[in-house]
Amino acid sequence: MRRMLLLLVMTIGLAVSGAAHSEPLIIELTVASDINPATASYISRGIEAARRRDADLVLIKLDTPGGQMISMRQITSDILHSTIPVGMWVAPEGARAASAGTFLVYAAHVSGMAPSTTIGAAHPVMMTGGMPGGEPSEGAAKQLETLTEKIVNDAVAQIRGLADKRGRNAQWAEQAVRESITATATEAVEQSVVDFIAATADQFAEQAAGRRVDTPAGEVTLETSGARIESVEMSWRESLLSVLAHPNVAYLLLIIGFYGIIFELKVPGIGGAGVVGLICLILGLYGLSVLSFNWAGLALIVAGVAMLIAELYTPTYGVLGVGGLAAFVIGSLILMESPATPISRPLILGVAVATGGFFLLALGAIVKGQRRPLAIGIGALAGATGTVRQRLDPDGLVHVDGAVWSATCEGEPIEAGEEIIVTEELAHMRLKVKRKE
């Protein structure tokens, strides 16, 4: 009797354990931004996590205006090689799967859309209009037309291949690329663009259940009814990279970095401007490193800034200033090599106007100062008071009369923050000071 009771308890335990183990699991990822290297890294990590946990489905909740073709191709490759089925769900209501997002939907093993969502407009984005100051030449226009045709044909071939593999509407997919057509959720289901409409993730799981899909491991029947859904969020690194990978953000950080460092060089001493400038410059360059940028554009921006600085030190009555601003604007326009990630033209215009205005005011102040009588020397600074900026032992930096000076002290060292009095002006713009009593 005791043995029978023990056997019954073990049977019930194994049944409960087996039931718990067999509970379907869905790993949910959320993409609500441009398709970029951070997105590709996030999805790749999510698919790998699902594989390690032997999940039944990777569900990607998608809301994107599009993004980089390179990142899109990496994601579609990960989906095609995934042994865990991948579902693409355009959600929440009002979301869209535009441009590169359309390719991702077509690559998925099973796809759905929430009500009031759209898909399509997958025509590759190309820059037009040529260089600033005029229309492109006939030869350049022909080359641009040929390049555009090649890119479009390549995109059509890719999305038709995905459509054939997943049994979706290849003709509509080609029109989405060539003519930028779009479809609502209802239209997409009617035209076999997606499989069904699902308002929630649970509805997606229920409607996906029982469907047969092909994976590199063979045909799989989706067992997602009543599945437990676990969300995997972006890591802090992926979130940071997603922000930095936006061309406008990378460009602004780059410009802030340049001017922070320039200001620090203009006003000697270690201060906030230099630290902030260096950090922004590094982050901006990191953002550019994951984008397809043009070295010539970056070189023109650096050269433009250098010419503007030279205008301040050796005024040429606008020659270097105008040249520097022109190089700055042209470099900004061609900085992004990929037509899918252009920098906002209004942003470039705003930065150029602000930069030109700043240097115009600075140049005006220099010219105005040159017209004043020279007021430097013992007669001007003898007896003036100030504060120590960098410890005097005996040499250091002091702040006197609104400027930072190299100085040497009399007697014992003077700590930063203490007040001093100028006793003498030495050669090479140096001051001799003592502690203020």
User: What confidence tens digit (pLDDT) does each residue in 92-124 have?
Assistant: 999 999 999 999 999 999 999 999 999 998 887
Q: Which residue has the tokens 């190309």?
A: 126
The whole-angstrom separation of Cα 84 and Cα 136 is: 49
The whole-angstrom separation of Cα 183 and Cα 102 is: 11
Comparing 311 with 156, the larger pLDDT belongs to 156
pLDDT > 60? residue 21:
no
Structure tokens at 354: 């602000």
Confidence of residue 20 (pLDDT cuts 50, 70, 90): very low
Contact 258, 281 (CB under 8 A): yes
The maximal CA–CA distance of the chain, rounded, in angstroms, is: 115
Distances (CA, A) of 251 to 30, 201, 263: 26, 37, 19
Comparing 56 with 278, the larger pLDDT belongs to 56
Comparing 186 with 427, the larger pLDDT belongs to 186
Question: Which residues does 64 contact at the CB level (< 8 Å), separation at least 6?
Answer: 31, 32, 33, 34, 35, 96, 97, 98, 99, 100, 101
Mean pLDDT of 66-74: 89
Confidence at residue 15, expressed as pLDDT on a 0 to 100 scale: 45
Confidence of residue 131 (pLDDT cuts 50, 70, 90): very low
Q: Which residues in 356-379 are b (16+ Cβ under 10 Å) and which e?
A: beebeebbeeeeeeeeeeeeeeee
Mean pLDDT of the chain: 82
For the chain, domains (ranges, CATH) are 24-238 (3.90.226.10), 246-370 (no CATH), 378-435 (2.40.50.140)
Q: Which residue has the tokens 């996030």?
A: 42
Distances (CA, A) of 86 to 58, 204, 231: 5, 12, 14
Structure tokens at 33: 């931004």
3-class state of residue 19 by DSSP: helix
Q: CA angle, 366 as apex, 362 and 368 as ends, to 5°?
A: 115
Confidence of residue 150 (pLDDT cuts 50, 70, 90): confident
The pTM of the whole model exceeds 0.75: no
Q: Which residue has the tokens 């993730």?
A: 201
Closest by alpha carbon to 35, among 285, 347, 341, 345? 341
Q: What is the DSSP letter of 412?
A: S
What percentage of the chain exceeds 90 in pLDDT?
38
pLDDT per residue over 157-205, tens digit each?
A: 999 999 999 999 999 999 999 999 999 999 999 999 999 999 999 999 9
Confidence of residue 221 (pLDDT cuts 50, 70, 90): very high
Report residue 329 CA to chain centroid gap: 21
Least confident among 23-32, 43-52, 341-350 = 341-350
The whole-angstrom separation of Cα 250 and Cα 402 is: 34
